[in-house]
A and B are shown apart, each in its own frame.
Chain A
Amino acid sequence: MSVAVGAAGRAGAPWFWAIAGLRRALELGAFLALAAFILGPLLTLLVWAAAGTWLFPNLLPEFSLRWWYYVLGNENVVKAIRMSFLSAPVATLLSAVICIPAAYAFARLEFPGRRLLLLSFLSANAFPKIGLYVSIATLFYRLNLMDTFAGVVMIQLINTLLFMIWIPTGTFRGINRNLEDAARDVGAGPLRTFFNITLPIALPGLIVASLFAFLAAFDEAQGTLIVGTPNHMTMPVMMYTLVLSYPQPVGAVFSVLLSLPSLLFLLLAQRYLRAGYLAAGYSL
């Protein structure tokens, strides 16, 4: 296919590009530099999570798991974990119930203002989020929603809207209409067609959307910091405190805990994205 660069015959390229060996070395060097930049911080954090004490200028710390006991024994940490795993699923479920039927409408039905509405969900995310949270906070003060479970769920809900509308809309749109027409043709009414045909075929996409939405709700920190302090802190909000006021290993351990759902869902999402047999139902 491509303009895959050949060693010679590239008019206008700098002289060193022509030397295949040198080019290889440059490519490798750039790759390693990028890898160091991206992976370095994460690996450092990982090492910190297993560290007891790490003194400069040692390249490695003395390893210990005592900070794990410390973190998991901390009452506030346990509270935060509980709040995260309570609020994020609730927000995601609420989001699914509200948004998936809407996504179907966006994909299949013609109604006035359809395009405008779809765009408005996108544009709501185009504004500086923090400004939005500050405005919402002032409203919440008036409504007595500050430092409540409902308030936290609502903030998380906002973050899920984009994923729960756009991905399912694309998913439903990708299902060829013939498949639904064929169900009507053999005698299924509109509702039965939706539940027996449309939904099963759309399921991988809906699951992917839910995973992204869950992660967005789970990882939400800025708004929840404002709305949830001090009694309804989630794990990301706890991170702020841990990073600023505790020894490094504590933050590192907590980071690993906070990353676990992401990693888990990454693996799950891969499986559904690879569902080849259902990909056949999509008209690309």
Chain B
Amino acid sequence: MARLSLRHLTKTFGAQAAVRDVTLEVRDGELMCLLGPSGCGKTTTLRMIGGFALPDAGDIQINDRSVVALPPEQRPTAMVFQRYNLWPHMTVAGNIAFGLKLRRLPRAAIAERVRDVLGLVGLPGFSQKYPHQLSGGEQQRVAVARALVLEPQILLLDEPFSNLDARLRVHMREEVKQLQRKVGITTVFVTHDQEEALTIADRIAVMNEGVLQQVDTPDALYARPQTLFVADFIGTMNLVSAHADAGRALVAGPWRLALPGGRWPEGAEATLAVRPEDLVPDPQGAPARVRRVINLGHYLLVLLDGPGVPALRMFTEKGASFSEGQEVRLRIARGLVFCGPEVAEIGGPMRPSVAAPTDRA
């Protein structure tokens, strides 16, 4: 049972603030993803939790006990790095047993635990192999085994599958998700791949340039992004520059939409964000011309250009008929308007998505 609490964590490298005032609560047994582009501070945050980097300000608490002053060997955390986890001069069993030997467990107990954890990660019988004899995926599994055998309170994973090929990556993350559910260990998982995060996370903390953008479930992040960055980063999004006009409506490209509550002054600049599945053909809609139709299997991606809005993307059922050069009229079923720090929702409740952005189990 472990809760992780990050309070106002800050870390600067020289003049650059890598992590800025990050406050985050991770619940017991939760798989929390830290998601963001390269350089957003997610790995630095993870390393601070593990004890490999010292915060310049802020606190880290595990079960309400501050661990910030503890060196890595004394923290109840276990980390799986992206690469170079396993010690090449030791066997798989040696790698896993090393931490147990430090804790002076009796030989028999160690052997039993090693056997059990290897079974848990699906590598029974691998104990006498050397790391260089294992594939990338197998090496990472041993790394996870080594982390878990010590029964840590928090499991930390730093993009553990980025180095594996795509198919293996998908397979491994499913395994990790199942393992995590089975063992019930509180986990923080760093990734730059939003599909990966959306697939396995219980909640996702999106970061950009050291700042926490939003912390929410995958569904909520997709449906109700709170900043323009999150809206653009998660899934596919059409972004249209917009401004409020005299009649308290929003003019975005060829669309004129009523603003709920009409709260922004005339001329205010904003951005309209529309999911591809929320663009609907409608005889009363704004004009657009089809540039290309791409068949993605169970749905179609239609690329369109509208007046002043090039490169619109629309998802639609696979049976729908669109052809290149065709003139269509589109309505916005639902969208989000970002004006400064504010977000407003336009249109009805979210339409069930024709194109699932990922296949979620």
Within the complex, are A and B direct neighbours (CB within 8 Å)?
Answer: yes
Chain A interfacial positions (CB closer than 8 Å to B): 176, 178-179, 181-189, 192, 196-197, 200-201, 276-278, 280-281, 283
Interchain nearest-CB distance for B147 vs A (Å): 8
A187 and B73 contact, CB distance less than 8 A: yes
**What residues on B are CB-neighbors of A188 within 8 Å?**
73, 98-99, 102
**What residues on A are CB-neighbors of B78 within 8 Å?**
185-186
Say if the beta carbon of B20 comes within 8 Å of chain A.
Answer: no
Say if the beta carbon of B52 comes within 8 Å of chain A.
Answer: yes
Point out the residue from B52, B81, B130, B150 that lies within 8 Å of A187, measured CB to CB: B150
In the complex, A99 Cα to B105 Cα: how many Å?
36
A280 and B88 contact, CB distance less than 8 A: yes
A185 and B79 contact, CB distance less than 8 A: yes
Closest to A197 in B: B87
A-contact 0/1 string along B134-155, CB 8 Å cutoff: 0000000001001100100000
Closest to B131 in A: A280
Point out the residue from B83, B99, B130 that lies within 8 Å of A186, measured CB to CB: B99
B103 and A201 contact, CB distance less than 8 A: no
B132 and A276 contact, CB distance less than 8 A: yes
A192 and B102 contact, CB distance less than 8 A: yes
Chain B interfacial positions (CB closer than 8 Å to A): 50-52, 71-74, 77-79, 81-85, 87-89, 98-99, 102-103, 130-132, 143, 146-147, 150
Closest to A201 in B: B89
Given known contacts A178-B85, A276-B132, A281-B88, is B102 in contact with A185 (CB within 8 Å)?
Answer: no
Given known contacts A192-B102, A280-B132, is B88 in contact with A181 (CB within 8 Å)?
Answer: no
A185 and B72 contact, CB distance less than 8 A: yes
Given known contacts A185-B50, A186-B150, A196-B98, is B83 in contact with A178 (CB within 8 Å)?
Answer: yes
What 8 pairs across the A-B complex have the smallest Cβ distances?
Answer: A186-B99, A176-B84, A281-B88, A184-B72, A178-B84, A178-B81, A280-B132, A280-B88
Interchain nearest-CB distance for B79 vs A (Å): 5
B79 and A181 contact, CB distance less than 8 A: yes
B98 and A183 contact, CB distance less than 8 A: yes
A187 and B99 contact, CB distance less than 8 A: yes
A201 and B99 contact, CB distance less than 8 A: no
A283 and B84 contact, CB distance less than 8 A: yes
**What residues on A are CB-neighbors of B143 within 8 Å?**
182
A201 and B87 contact, CB distance less than 8 A: yes
Point out the residue from A181, A276, A281, A283 that lies within 8 Å of B72, measured CB to CB: A181
Task: List 14 A-B residue pairs with CB atoms under 8 Å apart, sorted by A's residue number.
Answer: A179-B85, A182-B81, A183-B98, A185-B51, A185-B77, A187-B102, A187-B103, A187-B150, A188-B102, A192-B102, A197-B87, A278-B88, A281-B87, A281-B88
